[in-house]
Copies of this chain bind each other. A is one copy, B any other.
């Protein structure tokens, strides 16, 4: 809404080359607001606007843009100004963009970047995608342990201008091994002549450089940290992951899981930013898998139709039988997948979970079975035997659905796959096959 109001004025200023107006636009608004408005402007024009503020402000605004837009802007800039820009960006943000560009473009601009920054970029680019190393920043505040608080404070002041956060100070030894942590709030309250070593916390919580970003996010969230330190295999401090990046990760992972639950391959960009054909592919691949399952269901139905000859009334309740098993299964899978994402389920609890789902599934099955039975008797005027077939089928299908729905995501996890791949539609598709088989078997048994 913000952007809709100011955008026309901004475009007018660009047309008129109104330097004073553009400088004010960049300076007065919150950088996040400036970024929001610039999202709607084409890349060449964005650079024309940003030319009216200094590099520091340019970067501040730039870092609030969508990754998608950032990549676009990088591609629209010449190599020389681009390399200056890259040098000044925060280490984690620039690596995010560079890892999205093709390696040729990266290699063409990196030689122009200052030596130290270049080494930093190559190092961070070398960590696997979605690992702590790939998302951390190297701009943290650190101090040696044998200094007095007053000295520590002065040293911190010198580091402050170039650090992403100075609110947690990491105490390291000569080998850069992490020895302790102190918050700035605690530092301010400590006696000026106390030794940092005596005041710092030594029960350090950290993550390793190759830990998965989801684990890193869970850990920071669990301890309510502003930042969490990242150490390498030799226990050396190599970076920190900050709260704002963790929020982005949690949102990203929640989005990924929501997409998976709806049988969509995760998108790299926002929904409206994703090209149409990409969207068709990310959805189509799952729809094809699901339609194959439905064809297997057709095959199973065919088998039973040839042997049992189903009466019309059985067909009427086929949608209820299929939907009920799938729905109970989707519910169970949802509960398990979300608990895993929140880190609430460990392996000791798997058995407790299975018995719980068996119990809940059968209670839910009994409930829906009673509804189905009553509807069959009263609404559709079926016989007692026919209604009983429906009752038993619904009870069995839903109990099995609940148990399968809870166990399949755990099986996927065990196999090293994402449990969220067990989407609601996939659970429903599997449940359809079982549902048909149970329905017709019960009918054959009761009818003889």
Interface residues of A in 288-328 (CB under 8 A from B): 288, 290-295, 297-299, 301-302, 305, 310, 312, 315-320, 322-324, 326-328
| A425-443 to B contact mask, C-beta < 8 Å, 1/0 | 1001100100010000000
In angstroms, Cα B222 to Cα A413, docked, is: 32
Which one, A96-104, A172-180, A229-237, A352-360, is touching chain B?
A352-360
With most chain B CB atoms within 10 A of its CB, the pick from A254, A312, A372 is A254
| A60-84 to B contact mask, C-beta < 8 Å, 1/0 | 0000100000000000000000000
Closest to A161 in B: B189
CB distance from A68 to the nearest CB of B (A): 12
Closest to A164 in B: B185
The answer to whether B258 and A261 touch across the interface, beta carbons within 8 angstroms, is yes
In the complex, whether A344 has a CB less than 8 A from a CB of chain B is: yes
In the complex, whether A264 has a CB less than 8 A from a CB of chain B is: yes
The answer to whether B294 and A316 touch across the interface, beta carbons within 8 angstroms, is no
Contacts of A333 in B (CB 8 A): 262
In the complex, whether A195 has a CB less than 8 A from a CB of chain B is: no
The answer to whether B243 and A226 touch across the interface, beta carbons within 8 angstroms, is yes
With most chain B CB atoms within 10 A of its CB, the pick from A30, A271, A301, A359 is A271
Contacts of A339 in B (CB 8 A): 270-272
In angstroms, Cα B420 to Cα A202, docked, is: 45
| A245-265 to B contact mask, C-beta < 8 Å, 1/0 | 011101100110111011110
Give the oligomeric copy count: 2
In the complex, whether A415 has a CB less than 8 A from a CB of chain B is: no
Contacts of A276 in B (CB 8 A): 356, 359-360
| A130-164 to B contact mask, C-beta < 8 Å, 1/0 | 00000000000000000000000000110011010
Across the interface, A257 reaches (CB within 8 A) one of B246, B258, B425, namely B258
The answer to whether A272 and B352 touch across the interface, beta carbons within 8 angstroms, is yes
Across the interface, A262 reaches (CB within 8 A) one of B251, B349, B380, B424, namely B424
In the complex, whether A287 has a CB less than 8 A from a CB of chain B is: yes
With most chain B CB atoms within 10 A of its CB, the pick from A248, A250, A283 is A283
In angstroms, Cα B426 to Cα A330, docked, is: 12
In the complex, whether A345 has a CB less than 8 A from a CB of chain B is: yes
Contacts of A312 in B (CB 8 A): 305
With most chain B CB atoms within 10 A of its CB, the pick from A184, A312, A318, A424 is A424
In angstroms, Cα B406 to Cα A295, docked, is: 26
In the complex, whether A29 has a CB less than 8 A from a CB of chain B is: yes
The answer to whether A326 and B425 touch across the interface, beta carbons within 8 angstroms, is yes
Across the interface, A364 reaches (CB within 8 A) one of B255, B284, B295, B346, namely B284
| A326-354 to B contact mask, C-beta < 8 Å, 1/0 | 11101101111111001011101100110
In angstroms, Cα B161 to Cα A346, docked, is: 38
Contacts of A166 in B (CB 8 A): 185, 188
Contacts of A299 in B (CB 8 A): 379
In the complex, whether A368 has a CB less than 8 A from a CB of chain B is: yes
Across the interface, A291 reaches (CB within 8 A) one of B205, B250, B371, namely B371
Contacts of A331 in B (CB 8 A): 262-264, 283, 286-287
The answer to whether A360 and B330 touch (CB under 8 A), given A298-B380, A323-B290, is: no
The answer to whether A319 and B1 touch across the interface, beta carbons within 8 angstroms, is no
In the complex, whether A32 has a CB less than 8 A from a CB of chain B is: yes
The answer to whether A226 and B223 touch across the interface, beta carbons within 8 angstroms, is no
CB distance from A400 to the nearest CB of B (A): 15
The answer to whether A247 and B254 touch (CB under 8 A), given A160-B189, A305-B316, is: no
Contacts of A295 in B (CB 8 A): 320, 372, 375, 379
Q: Which 6 A-B pairs have the closest CB atoms?
A: A262-B334, A254-B254, A294-B320, A224-B244, A298-B316, A297-B319
Known contacts A30-B203, A157-B188, A243-B243; 16 further A-B pairs (Cβ under 8 A): A28-B203, A32-B223, A157-B189, A247-B247, A250-B250, A250-B251, A254-B258, A259-B334, A262-B333, A264-B331, A270-B339, A272-B349, A284-B363, A288-B367, A298-B320, A305-B316
19 examples of A-B residue contacts, CB within 8 angstroms: A30-B203, A30-B223, A167-B167, A221-B247, A246-B247, A251-B254, A258-B337, A263-B330, A284-B363, A291-B371, A295-B379, A297-B319, A299-B379, A302-B316, A305-B312, A315-B318, A330-B424, A424-B424, A428-B428
